[in-house]
Every structure is written in C-alpha cells, then in structure tokens.
A and B are shown apart, each in its own frame.
Chain A
Amino acid sequence: MLGLTRKDTILFLIVIAMVICAPVLLNPFPSNSALAQFNAGYPDLMQRFLIFGIFAIGFNILFGLTGYLSFGHAAFLGAGSYAGVWMFKLLSMNVLPAILVSILVAGVFSVLIGFVSLRRSGIYFSILTLAFAQMSYALAYSVLTPITNGETGLQLSLNDPRILDGVAAADGSLPVANFFGVEMRDSLDVALGGWSFTFNAGYYLCAVFMILAFYIAIRIFRSPFGMMLRAVKSNQQRMSYTGLNPRPYTLAAFVISGMFAGLAGGLMVAMDPLAGAERMQWTRSGEVVLMTILGGMGTLIGPVLGAGLIKYLENILSKINDNVLHQWFSFMPDGLENVIVTLIHPFVGKGWHLTLGLMFMAVVIFLPGGLVQGGQKIAALLRRKKADPNTVKQPAE
C-alpha cells in the first residue's frame, strides 16, 4: 500500500491507529481515580507528543541515518516558531500559511547553517552547530528583541495588522488560531462512565502532519537516498571512491531534518501562539538527541516513542507533589506511608530531572538501541519461550 512494503505498511497502519485513538488510549484511568494523575490524554500533552515526535523523526533522518550529531536543531524549531507567530501577526490566523512559512524559514535557515557546519565532521560538526544555535539563542534573547520579543517570547497582540483576517475580534479578545474556521482549541468531550475523553481539533491537525511526516520518513528510509545516507554514516571514504559526493547528501538530510524541525515549530505556535527564545537553547537540541537515542536511533518508530516518553515524564512526573503522594499511600499505616513518600519524593515533582537522568543512563547502559531494542528483546524472549530455543535471531531492522 502507498508504495510501502508489507512490513512497513503494517507499521504505518499501527501508527495511524495509535495516533487516531490516542485520546482514548492515553486516558486509561477514570478521571476521578487516584491514578488519573497518570492520564496523558489531554490536548496539550497529546499535541506535544506528536509535535516532538515530528521533531525527533526529522532529527533521526540526519542523526540516525548519516550519524551527524547536530546540537543545533533547536534553532530551527525556534526559527519555525517565530516565523509562524509572525504569520499570525501579519497575515492571518489560519494555521496553514503559518505552518508552511515555518517550514520554509527553517529550511532556508538550515541551508545556511548546514552549508557551513557540514564542512566539518564528527565532534567538530557538533560544536559548529552548537555554536550556531547558542548564537541564535543569545541574540534572540537580547539584541533581536524587536523580532523575537526577547525573554517574554513573541505573542499575539490586539493591534497586530493581520491583513487577511482584518482587525481583532469585536469583543476585544485575541483571535484564535484556526484551520479554515475550525479553531485549534475546539474539541469534543465524551464522558463515558467514569472516563472522559477529549477529542481536540488541534490534536488531529497535528496528527495529520505527524502521519504525513512519518510517511515521508518511511519513504526516505526505504529510498535510494536513504541508503546513501546510511552509506555516509558507514564509510565516507568508500562513498567518495564509489563516485558519490557525500556533501550534498548530508546537506539534503540536514535541510530535510531542519524543515521537520520547522514544521514542529510551526505546529507548536499553531497550538499555542507563543514563541520563546528558550526554544533555541542547546538544551532543547540536547532534548531531541535524547529522544532519538532513548527511542532507538536509526529506527523509524524509535524517535516517536522517545519523544513521547520524555514529554510524558516532564508533564506527568513534575506534577506529582507530596500531597499527591500522601493521597496515594494513605491506605498504609502513617509511619509506612511517610517512609514510602520520603523514598519516592526525590524522584517526582521538583526531582523529575533526577528520574530523567537516571533513565538516560539506564537506557544507554543496558539498551544501546533504545526502547525499540528493548521491545525486540522482550519479543525475542517471548518467542524463545514459545518456539525452539535455537531459533535464528533475525538481524534488527
């Protein structure tokens, strides 16, 4: 189907199904139960899953395939975001032009940075991209404030021109991002028993783009171009002596991944029209590296899983405070309750970074292939239990 192999088609269909059903799948606990804390099925987080999924999918096209580790991709996310907000301010609250311009601006920006940075490889390349991103961040935060609104971040205001939509809403409130009239924050709430599910318009817009991005990624992975990118990673010397010029291949991969980042940035502002300078900081770039590796670099689904896991921890873990802990363990005798709460306390709430750090270490140490490898190991374990112990291990795809 769609020019994909059977295996890829199945993966693609699974991803589509998961994305469509996410509002239900991510809310497994009744909204009044104590475990509702772990529900992730609210629009903001679900949108973030997809947006950062797109960011990581794009990053993986560069890092996973060519092995070039960029610490500067946050700059493209930020550039896309700023471009998006400016489109909202100047042109129209329709998200489509904003997203397209975001992709375009990030693309142009990545051509410039990529052209310079790709003159070097290895850690020299990483440092060059880091330098570019940090410069963008520092300037966006201070000198470029007229364009970026500095620390506060660029946001909409009532006196924006917005030449297509005309003036702000009559009641003096800010206009809302929409897709040909469908507001991004529109949603359908379904309460079913103790459960409640929110189907949000913005989420499904992200879903369309994410599915598209995933499809493009599969096509690239399976294309001759994708094969060339893997060749870049494997042996650049052989590649040159085979008559292939590695530079345009890496630049193309860099720009494609930059445009994915721009798309993610554009979607971020389409969901929530504010673009802050922190989006360009190197720690943001570090985050997407972590997502990619955590999920499994060079795999199709890995980056999406990694992005989901990190965003989940960030949003869910950081909200678990001592009160919540006490609530959970209140069935225990007070002494034991306090001991357990004290034990868990350092890892949640304000300590969620600690959990994150420990998890990276654990994954890198025990699962160099990331979550995907973990999944394969479990699958292999299950298969071995069922079948002949001498089954030949399939090479990992």
Chain B
Amino acid sequence: MESIILQILTGLDKGSAYALIALGLTLIFGTLGVVNFAHGALFMIGAFCAVTLHRLLQFSHVVIDETQTDFLGNPRKIEVPYIYDWLGEPLGRAVIDWSVPLAILFAVPVMILIGVIMERGLIKHFYKRSHADQILVTFGLAIVLQEIIKAFYGANPIPMGAPSAFVGSFDFGVLVGFDVNSVIYPYWRLVYFGFSMVIIAAVFAFLQFTTFGMVVRAGMADRETVGLLGINIDKRFTIVFGIAAAVAGLAGVMYTPILSPNYNMGMDFLVLSFVVVVVGGMGSLPGAVLAGFLLGILQSFASMSVVVETIPGINQVVIYLVAMIILLVRPRGLMGRKGVMED
C-alpha cells in the first residue's frame, strides 16, 4: 500500500515534467503546425538559466589569503561573491541559496526572448515546409544549442541545490497513520508538482479566458478560417512560441534540483515527450497533460521491484510498449483529432 502511494507520487512528479514539455510541444504543434524537435533543448536551456543565474550570483572577486595555500603551494585565493559586498553576507547567502526559484524571474524573459528569436529567425520560414523538414531543421538547431551549452558548461552534470528551506522530506505516512518513514517525499518534489500544476492551470486559463487565447484555440481547431478572419496570426504565433518556450524553460529551471543539469538532458526528454504528445493525441492540450501524467505513473509502477522481477526489463520499455498499444487501439492517441499529422 505504502509503496503504491509512493510510486503514484513519484509518477506524478515525473509526469509533471513530461506534461509541461508536452504541453509546450502541443501548443506549438497545434497552433503553428510545426514539429519542434528543439523543444527538449529549450527545457535544457531553462535548466541552464538556473545554472547561469547561480553562477552570476556567485560572481566573485578574489582575495588572496597569505595564511593558506592552494594545492600547488601558492597563496590561496579566496573568492568572495560581489553580492556579499552589496547585500551583506547573510542576505547574499540567502539569495544564492534561493537561486533556483529566483531563476524563474530570470528564465521567463530569457526563454521568451529565445523563443521569439527562434520563431522569427527560423521556425517562421518552415510553416509551409514538410514536417520532415521541420523535424530536421529543429533537430539541427537542438544539436547546435546543445553544443553551445557544452562549450560553456562542459559535459558533466552540474549540481544545483534546492533552497535549504526545502531540503528534506515530508512524511505523509504519519498523517494517515502509517509507520514513520514509510511514505516520505522530498519537499522540493512537492514544490515541483505544485508548480507545474500552477503553470498548467495558467496556460489553460490563458487559453480559456482571454481573447488572445480564444483566437489561439480557434487557430488550433481550424487554422485556415482564423487566417481568413484577417486576424494578425503571425504576431500571435510568435507569442505562442514564446510562451511554449517559457513553459519548457520553467520546467527545466525547477527540475534542476531533481536532476543535475547536463547538456544532453534535453534529448533524453525530447523522445519521451514526443511519445507523450502522440499518445495524448497530436494537437490536444488536455491529451498531452493526461498522457504525461499517465505515462509518468506507469513508468513508476513498472520500476517497482515486484514488477521488474516478474517481467525483466519492463521498466525500460514500458513507455514505448504502452505507447504502441494505445496507438494501435486508439489510432489518434487518447484525445487526438482526425486528420492531424497523418500525411
């Protein structure tokens, strides 16, 4: 029982990351009709926004301490972040400690900017091209973005801590009368889950209750008609792309304490999120979210040792297996519409 609750919790968490990326992918696909293979890279760049902010905050000047020596026997250089000088050490420390949540503020404009540049500079020219061309050019872009990040930050994972206030775990078990430590879950993961729910809700609310959102939804349903209405679709496309990029970026920022970011993390998520999008049904936002959580939870269950011992290797293939079954039973995914992406 406890283990099932735990796996549901981990599944929800994994699912929120899939759902956030898939949401952006679907938004882009549904409105712009573009298959964006660089979406995983946007997630990765988001994560590196957090790294960058963390490094910026730690930007230091060097004080030479004659009393200590470094590994080569030279006087030791101690780096003092400028922020300590400005804010005083306690506050400076706190700011650095909170750099991951603070990075949200930093990442939103950066990601929107990157999204807008990407759309204006590249994606725009691919609206009329075949999906294969779109996949290729965005795949090429993903490689380029990834390599640029690697050039600056190296290939190894970079540790990013959650604020110390969120370190540790919450004991659910005690609440409902289980043994102590039987259902514990890290605070930060709860934060992540809550955060993604907020973002998902915000995106849906935005689409549901604003005029802008209505046009976008209309565009997703029937692009040609909206074009005929004389609404300036181009500008809206750009904004939608920016939003999708920001959603992916934020998913990345908040994920850094869970998964130490490395330059390749985008590719790992890309394939899975594509499976998620397709299982959800191309072009369906609720489908993407639903499939994200569904596959996250399934993956968690498949990782339970009871399951793995019964069917060896199932934990490695469960997502693909489920995707295959769903696609064969429901040709257009869980909530897909007819005719989308079938040519």
Contact = CB atoms under 8 A, between A and B. Distances in A.
- Please determine if A and B sit in direct contact within the complex, based on CB atoms under 8 angstroms apart: yes
Interface of A: 69, 116, 119-124, 127-128, 130-132, 134-135, 138-139, 142-144, 282-283, 286, 289-290, 293, 297, 346, 351, 353-354, 356-361, 364-365, 368
Given A120-B331, A354-B148, A135 B341 contact: no
Among A116, A131, A351, A354, chain B packs the most CB atoms within 10 A around the CB of A131
B136 A364 contact: yes
B6 interface: no
23 contacts: A122-B131, A122-B343, A124-B331, A124-B333, A124-B342, A127-B278, A128-B323, A130-B271, A134-B320, A142-B316, A289-B136, A290-B139, A293-B136, A297-B132, A353-B146, A356-B143, A357-B143, A360-B139, A361-B137, A361-B144, A364-B136, A364-B140, A368-B129
Nearest to B343: A122
Nearest to A138: B316
A143 B129 contact: no
Contacts of A122: 131, 341-343
A134 B267 CA distance: 14
Interface in B172-201: none
Interface in B277-320: 278, 282, 312-313, 316-317, 320
Contacts of B136: 289-290, 293, 360, 364
Nearest to B316: A138
A360 B143 contact: yes
B324 A132 contact: yes
A351 B151 contact: yes
B147 A351 contact: yes
Nearest to B324: A131
Interface in B122-146: 122, 125, 129, 131-133, 135-137, 139-144, 146
B153 to A, nearest CB: 14
Contact of B312 (A69, A132, A143): A143
Nearest to A292: B132
A364 B137 contact: yes
A353 B143 contact: yes
A364 B138 CA distance: 10
Contact of B332 (A116, A124, A346, A351): A124
Contact of B144 (A124, A130, A282, A357): A357
Contact of A354 (B122, B139, B147, B271): B147
B136 to A, nearest CB: 5
Contact of B320 (A119, A132, A353): A132
Contacts of A120: 327-328, 331, 342
A364 B133 contact: yes
A127 B274 contact: yes
A290 B139 CA distance: 10
Nearest to A121: B342
A276 to B, nearest CB: 17
A123 B324 contact: no
A135 B321 contact: yes
B143 A131 contact: no
A123 B278 contact: yes
A210 to B, nearest CB: 25
B140 A358 contact: yes
Nearest to A141: B316
A135 B317 contact: yes
B140 A357 contact: yes
B152 to A, nearest CB: 10
